[in-house]
A and B are shown apart, each in its own frame.
Chain A
Amino acid sequence: MKNKEKPTVVWFQAITCNGNTHSLLSANSNRLELFFDSFNLIYHPSLTIDKSLDDILNSNSKIDFLLVEGSISNNKKFFQISNNSTYNHLTKLIKKATYVISVGSCASFGGIHAMFKEHVGVKSVKEYFDKTLLKHQIINLGGCPVHPEWLLQTMFLLKDYGRIALDNEGRPKELYSSLVHHGCTRNEYFEWKVEGEFGTKEGCLFYDQGCRGPMTHGSCNKILWNDVSSKTRAGMPCVGCTEPTFPRDDMLNTKKNIGIPFEVPLGIPKRAYLSITGVAKTFKIDRLNKKLMD
């Protein structure tokens, strides 16, 4: 990790549960190795590394990639690291950085910590630092936690090409332009309105279990977790963790009016959705109502 050619990376942890760190460490081992071979991670509070946060703060060296995990607060009484608020630390760090990447939902959108009204001043990185002059605007990698591969792809893309296209929420389009619904193995059940249950292989989790796949941007079902699975593949509804609206109340329940979903898939007018699904629901397709395996 001492190679000067490699871009330097600082991982700053603010108000967080550590989930994104765990996620990174669970990355495909070849890819993680490639990451450590290609970047110089000079600071991470959970890893054994020579430097302390103070060393980084007091040094004049530039940081190529500043990765932020967790939401930010300017209130020292509420949360502090080394006798200072996360906001003050980040103000210093951001000035040194070329790229700032918010890793996970808390850093990107405030996440669960910003949800409570008592948590005044707990915000996302972008809410505090949007006006900061950076070479690149702050990149939001929504996800609770973020998929390790999304972080790695973003880093490699910036390292090699210096830029990345972002959507309106500051998320890389490459990773967040399609919906979690894409690539879900339950699509056929969705089409024919066959309801599913938690943990089973059959049925769609949109109708009762609150699946947000059709309204959530992310590639969970295209870039699989641990290379093999995803929430919906395993029978757990998508909870929409990549969106600024996460977390919502009552996430495992589909809000309905008279049996009609309150929200319909993104970009489809409700009347059109109802007219198609109303027809589809009246079909009984034996194959889809049977167990895949007895």
Chain B
Amino acid sequence: MENALKLFSQKGFYNTTIPDIAKAMKMSVGNMYNYFSSKEELAKYAIKYSTNILALELREINNMEISSKEKVSIFVNKYLENVQKSPEVIEYFLRVYLSNREVFKQGCEGFLCVGEFVTEVMILLDTGAQNKEFREQEFFPAFAMIMGCLGGFAFLSGEKVLDKDLLEYSDAVADNIYRALKYEE
């Protein structure tokens, strides 16, 4: 699946063909169709697959008995590690999912394919607010604060404009996110 993600994010959704993917996945085209009836279906499966990796990581962090500040910091670190180690996972989200909305319109409406990950972000925010570590605000601005910031960083890294190693920014990014969410007396 990672190979398929890589192909999609490098070549774009429309320039990638099923034979390309079959080849990358070391499968015959016929066998490929046994699993996915079309390229669209494969793309939808891929978005669930890639966000579930993040969802599982965040769920583990959510289950830890630590402060929400620490949770944000560990999550940012893990996310940036993912950007570095498996850029295809994040790039797929940014370059395919967000840029080809028409492909995902049916069957991936709203949060349908990214629901597990969004749920974990909700749990992170909810727990933080309940413990009075995060201030009360609406969900979407808080959500966009976290994901927009991380997505932006993944983009900067993909464009190779960062002058330092990606992970060196981890603490500063986490701190910015925490400050945007933090409880104020």
Partner-B contacts on A (CB < 8 A) = 256-260, 262, 270-271, 274-275, 278-279, 281-283
Contacts and interface: CB of A to CB of B under 8 A. Distances in A.
A264 to B, nearest CB: 10
Nearest to A259: B139
Contact of A281 (B110, B129, B134): B110
Given A274-B119, A283-B109, A283-B110, 19 more contacts: A257-B126, A257-B130, A258-B134, A258-B137, A258-B138, A258-B139, A259-B137, A259-B138, A260-B122, A260-B125, A270-B123, A271-B119, A271-B123, A274-B122, A278-B111, A278-B115, A278-B122, A279-B111, A279-B112
Contacts of B138: 258-259
Interface string B123-161: 101101110001011111010000000000000000000
Contact of B126 (A260, A279, A281, A282): A260
Contacts of B125: 257-258, 260
A279 B122 CA distance: 12
Contacts of B128: 258
A278 B115 CA distance: 7
A270 B129 CA distance: 15
A72 to B, nearest CB: 36
Nearest to B120: A271
B116 interface: yes
Contacts of B137: 258-259
Contacts of A274: 119, 122-123, 126
A282 B109 contact: yes
B142 A258 contact: yes
Interface residues of B, number: 22
Contacts of A270: 123, 126
Interface string B81-111: 0000000000000000000000000000111
Contact of B129 (A257, A278, A279, A282): A257
Contacts of B129: 257-258, 260
B167 interface: no
Nearest to A284: B110
A271 B125 CA distance: 12
Nearest to B124: A258
B118 interface: yes
Contacts of A278: 111, 115, 118-119, 122
A260 B138 CA distance: 9
A138 to B, nearest CB: 36
A257 B126 CA distance: 6
Contacts of B110: 279, 281-283
Contacts of B136: 256-258
A279 B110 CA distance: 7
A103 to B, nearest CB: 37
Instruction: Tell me which of A274, A278, A283 has the highest count of chain B C-beta atoms within 10 A of its own C-beta.
Output: A278
B130 A262 contact: yes
Contacts of A258: 122, 125-126, 128-129, 134, 136-139, 142
Interface in B15-36: none
A260 B140 CA distance: 11
Contacts of A283: 109-110
5 contacts: A259-B138, A262-B130, A275-B118, A279-B112, A281-B111
A259 B118 CA distance: 14
Contacts of B122: 258, 260, 274, 278
Nearest to B143: A258
A256 B136 CA distance: 8
A91 to B, nearest CB: 45
Q: Which 4 A-B pairs have the closest CB atoms?
A: A282-B110, A257-B129, A259-B139, A275-B119
Contacts of A262: 130
Nearest to A280: B110
Instruction: Tell me which of A259, A260, A271, A282 has the highest count of chain B C-beta atoms within 10 A of its own C-beta.
Output: A259
